[in-house]
Chains A and B, each alone.
Chain A
Amino acid sequence: MQIPAPFDYARASTVDNALALLERHGPESRILAGGHSLLPMMKLRLARPEWLIDINDLFELDFIVRGADAQGADTLRIGALTRHTTLLESDQVHALFPIITDAEKVIADPIVRNRGTIGGSLCQADPAEDLSTVCEVLGAVAVIRGSGGERLLSMAEFHRGPYETAVAHNEILCELRFAVRARTGSAYEKVERRVGDWAVAAAGASVTLAADGTIEAATIGLTAVGQTGTVGAAADALLGQLPTEALFIEAGRLASVACDPIADQRGPVDYKRHLADELTRRVLRRATERAHASATSTATQEG
């Protein structure tokens, strides 16, 4: 029977209250969100916090809102306590960032998704965490609060390595911000051994088309194959080009060379490189189709 080691429990009533509790109980206190990564680790004694600060009552962190940011840019803001299920069922998320919906369909299973949160996923920073790749691809900005105030971090600044983020012990990840771009499409695809399992490998892409149909911006991310950040070389190869199958094949090749997978029970290195290649091609195709659709609908609205 797996049961966590003893700890004390406090339920926060507001973000400020949670921050005060983290300060009061010191470095051995941990935020508890959905608990679907932290509780399994505590059962296995991989984590042994002395205090759990439960943030499940913080409805102020459970939201999906579109609006202009401080600079007036069109932005989708997603609260850290938003559950996987809420993201999967959101039409707004699907319309703006289909990569999130693609990923949510294959994250864990429907029941785990009822509890797990986007904030918990990012703070867990497991190398196989699908939403980490999604946020890298979309260039998300993390909003972190501490007693001293708020700071905004890019994903490159946020992710420090496997299971390590820039969120200090006495800070809380409050939201993720995603810039909404015109003529843009995105997609995610994962290969898993069975439903609900972590990725053998997965890829995500976002493609923005210029008015002349060439690729104006592109990002490619890989999951579970030892790739830190987005695959710059593969994305650079696409810039300024017309999207063609030959181009996607080249980007796939570059992605498979750039990543650094390890052999484990989910598969050998060459298989994972093959997946990085194939999945990169597939997400580029789908993201480009969606970018075309988005460009057409924008043109129709304007016309």
Chain B
Amino acid sequence: MQVTMTVNGTDITEEIEPRVLLVHFIRDVLRLTGTHWGCDTSNCGTCVVLMDGQPVKSCTVLAAMADGHAITTVEGLATGAVLDPVQQGFMEEHGLQCGFCTPGMMLTARALLDHNPHPDDTEIRQAISGQICRCTGYATIVRSIKWAAEHPAAAEHGDTVQSDTAQSDTGQSHNTAQSSNTAQSQSADEVHA
């Protein structure tokens, strides 16, 4: 079947089997490997992406169900070479160690801040309660999200990363693969790939 959706602002159309899960569509078809895939049972939350701005566990959504919707993956957080304040916050407050949970954590954080720009610690902890981090003990993740809340315009102050061309190493030319990668999703990929 054919699916058409917007991924990180770019329209894409692909031919897929109906049984393909959104997480595999993103990773294996679009080669956007910043989205991680862990428990496969809707528990760990590393596969979280935004569907029409709302966090969903992409291991439990069919790519077919995303047809006609807008998907944001971790690759879509930065604007060009400018990091999202959430990404900046994870850098400032050491919100990651191995980086495996990080893409999902950052997308949930983005959705939380879009909905509630000034969350308290409890609201942050509740928002990420469907996600597991085996490294940080969560305290630095909470601080990172707080940092982002306190610096909503961090990106405007010129905190940029170099846009990265590493994604062309997939050897495939998907129009979505052109979005710039981030320091976070890269380091996460290094341990996962």
- Chain A residues proximal to chain B, CB less than 8 Å: 1-9, 11, 32, 35-36, 39-40, 43, 52, 54, 56, 108-112, 114-115, 195-196
Contacts and interface: CB of A to CB of B under 8 A. Distances in A.
A109 B40 CA distance: 16
B1 A9 contact: yes
* Ranked 5 nearest A-B pairs via Cβ: A109-B130, A9-B18, A111-B130, A195-B129, A4-B19
A196 B130 contact: yes
B64 A110 contact: no
A43 B43 CA distance: 14
Contacts of B19: 3-7
Interface string B2-44: 0000000000000001111100100000000000000011110
Interface in B52-76: 54-57, 60-62, 64-65, 67
A56 B69 CA distance: 12
A40 B57 CA distance: 12
B70 to A, nearest CB: 15
Interface bracket on B:
20 to 34
Interface of B: 1, 17-21, 24, 40-43, 45, 48, 54-57, 60-62, 64-65, 67, 108, 126-127, 129-131
A3 B28 CA distance: 14
B57 A56 contact: no
Given A39-B62, A110-B126, A112-B130, A1 B55 contact: no
Contacts of A109: 45, 129-131
B112 to A, nearest CB: 9
25 contacts: A2-B40, A3-B19, A4-B19, A6-B19, A7-B19, A9-B18, A11-B64, A32-B62, A43-B40, A52-B18, A52-B62, A54-B64, A109-B130, A110-B130, A111-B55, A111-B56, A111-B108, A111-B130, A111-B131, A112-B130, A114-B56, A115-B56, A195-B130, A196-B43, A196-B130
A1 B21 CA distance: 11
Contacts of A56: 65
A111 B64 contact: no
Contacts of B65: 32, 35, 54, 56
Contacts of A196: 43, 129-130
B60 A6 contact: no
Contacts of B21: 3, 39
Given A9-B18, A111-B48, A35 B60 contact: yes
A115 B45 CA distance: 14
A56 B64 CA distance: 11
Nearest to A3: B19
